[in-house]
């Protein structure tokens, strides 16, 4: 079917928002802003379907960008940093289709029209010149329906991912945390209570403490090898997971000519600077930067249990950091760590159940990636006139 083309200003009435975010009193109506989450307002400006387009760059500092376009229906207020596009003839253009179209084409059609020095922006007048290509209304509605169905599946998958992520701390609490009156890792265990057969151990008594190092950046031969090197760049993504790859890797030469050491699979790594308290376990032989303290567990301590215990104690561990400029947990403090050691069979029960959940998460990740690819493919086909 032939696609039509018209300027946005011909298809829609464009009205700038009137609500100053800092001065708008909260109330029963959504207040659409440039952010992902809406605020609220005590009065509304619109009572219809609208495409809400930010007029200012998302990043500023002389750089033009646009993170999102909102689709809003019903009574709502609009921040004065956005403009609402109200379709003039709903028999020609679907507001929901327009929102999808502008969200998909924003980097190509809207961002290049932004001007300015420090704070780049686009005027309502220039916004009106943006060309919109669209098929007949029936096809617009079909496209929106397909995209909404896939988007709903993606939301369900995201909810499942969040529930899976919450499982590990909930299971740790059920098996261990509810039996003690403290974090599972402490400096002093005075006054703590544990069930029979459980005990507190100095962590260095049940695991070997190791550190890391950064080979010289000035020697190219030390880098881009085949030995994964965990750094602060990786740790937020790896938090609570088994690390199988890293952003950077070093060579044998880099190890031999620095204080870096190769550590065995299952070594538990805790960030002690900057991203304090984030923790991972090595999925293969690796090394780390000096920003980590590492433990090679002995027979009495399962590494996945230790990783979870450190996560459960995260806020407490962060309170141990010191320093005026950059907070750090220093080695004398680390050497005082004591860890709760439940019977090994109970640790293994915990690990087995976590392993099952991790396997489920891996399948969910694959499904999510497939859904994301499907969604992107549908967007491309829809707005290239091939759907």
Chain length of the chain? 387
Q: Any idea which residue has 């890391």 for tokens? A: 212
DSSP states along 7-63: EHHHHEEEEE--B-TTTPPP-SEEEE-SSSS-EEESS-SEES-EEEEESB-SSBTTB
pLDDT average, residue stretch 149-165: 74
Q: What are the extents of the domains in the chain? A: 4-134, 136-156+345-387, 177-341
Q: Does residue 161 register a pLDDT over 90?
A: no
Q: What confidence score (pLDDT) does residue 23 get?
A: 92
Residue 315 in this model has a pLDDT that exceeds 90: yes
- Asked whether this chain's domains 4-134 and 177-341 adopt the same fold, the reply is yes
Q: Give rounded-to-5 percent helix, strand, coil for the chain.
A: 40, 25, 35
Over the chain, what is the mean pLDDT? 90
pLDDT per position as a tens digit, 333-383: 999 999 999 999 999 999 998 888 777 766 766 766 776 676 677 666 667
Residue 1, pLDDT > 50, answer no
Point out the least confidently predicted range of 30-34, 169-173, 223-227, 317-321: 169-173
Q: Note the CATH number of domain 177-341.
A: 3.90.220.20
pLDDT (tens digit, 9 = 90+) per residue, 11-34?
Answer: 999 999 999 988 999 999 999 999
The reported pLDDT for the residue numbered 385 is 58
Higher pLDDT, 210 or 140: 210
pLDDT tens digit sequence for 234-286: 999 999 999 999 999 999 999 999 999 999 999 999 999 988 999 999 999 99
* pLDDT reported for residue 232: 94
What's residue 373's pLDDT?
A: 73
**Burial of 345 per CB tally in 10 Å (0-12, 13-18, 19+):** exposed
Condensed to tens digits (0 to 9), the pLDDT of residues 207-220 reads 999 999 999 999 99
Element (H, E) at 122: none
pLDDT tens track for 79-119: 999 999 999 999 999 999 999 999 989 998 999 999 987 78
Say whether pLDDT at 156 is over 80: no
CATH 3.90.220.20 fits 4-134, yes or no: yes
Q: What is the pLDDT of residues 371-385, one digit of tens each?
A: 667 667 766 666 765
Inform me whether the pLDDT recorded for 64 exceeds 60.
Answer: yes
Q: Look at residue 155 in the predicted model and tell me its pLDDT.
A: 79
Work out the pLDDT band at 387, boundaries 50, 70, 90.
low
pLDDT value of position 344: 95
Whether 136 has a pLDDT exceeding 60, the answer reads yes
Q: Which residues on adjacent β-strands are paired with residue 349?
A: none
């Amino acid at each position: 079917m032939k696609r039509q083309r018209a300027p946005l200003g011909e298809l829609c009435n464009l009205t700038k928002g009137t609500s100053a975010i800092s001065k708008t009193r909260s109330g029963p109506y959504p207040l659409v802003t440039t952010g992902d989450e809406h605020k609220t307002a005590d009065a509304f400006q619109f009572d219809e379907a609208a495409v809400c387009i930010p007029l200012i760059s998302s990043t500023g500092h002389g750089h033009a960008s646009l993170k999102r376009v909102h689709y809003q229906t019903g009574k709502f207020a609009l921040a004065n940093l956005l403009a609402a596009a109200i379709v003039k003839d709903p028999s020609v253009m679907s507001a929901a289709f327009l929102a999808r179209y502008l969200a998909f084409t924003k980097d190509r059609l809207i961002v290049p029209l932004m001007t300015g020095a420090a704070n780049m922006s686009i005027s309502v007048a220039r916004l009106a010149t943006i060309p919109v290509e669209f098929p007949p209304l029936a096809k617009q509605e079909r496209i929106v329906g397909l995209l909404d169905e896939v988007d709903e599946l993606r939301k369900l998958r995201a909810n499942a991912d969040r529930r899976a992520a919450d499982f590990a701390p909930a299971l740790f609490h059920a098996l261990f945390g509810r039996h003690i009156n403290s974090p599972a890792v402490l400096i002093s265990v005075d006054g703590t209570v544990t069930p029979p057969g459980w005990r507190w151990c100095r962590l260095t008594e049940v695991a070997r403490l190791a550190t890391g190092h950064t080979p010289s950046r000035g020697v190219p031969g030390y880098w881009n090898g085949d030995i994964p090197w965990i750094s602060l760049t990786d740790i937020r993504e790896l938090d609570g997971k088994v690390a199988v790859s890293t952003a950077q890797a070093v060579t044998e030469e880099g190890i031999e000519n620095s204080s870096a050491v190769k550590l065995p699979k299952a070594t538990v790594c805790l960030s002690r600077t900057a991203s304090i308290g984030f923790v991972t376990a090595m999925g293969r032989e690796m090394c780390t930067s000096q920003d980590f303290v590492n433990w090679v567990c002995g027979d009495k301590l399962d590494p996945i249990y230790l990783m979870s215990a450190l996560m459960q104690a995260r806020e407490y561990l962060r309170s141990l950091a010191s320093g005026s400029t950059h907070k750090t947990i220093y080695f004398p403090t680390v050497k005082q760590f004591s860890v709760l050691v439940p019977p090994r069979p109970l640790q293994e029960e915990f690990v087995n159940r976590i392993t099952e959940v991790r396997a489920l998460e891996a399948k969910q990740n694959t499904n999510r990636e497939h859904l994301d690819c499907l969604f992107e493919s549908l967007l491309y086909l829809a707005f290239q006139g091939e759907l």
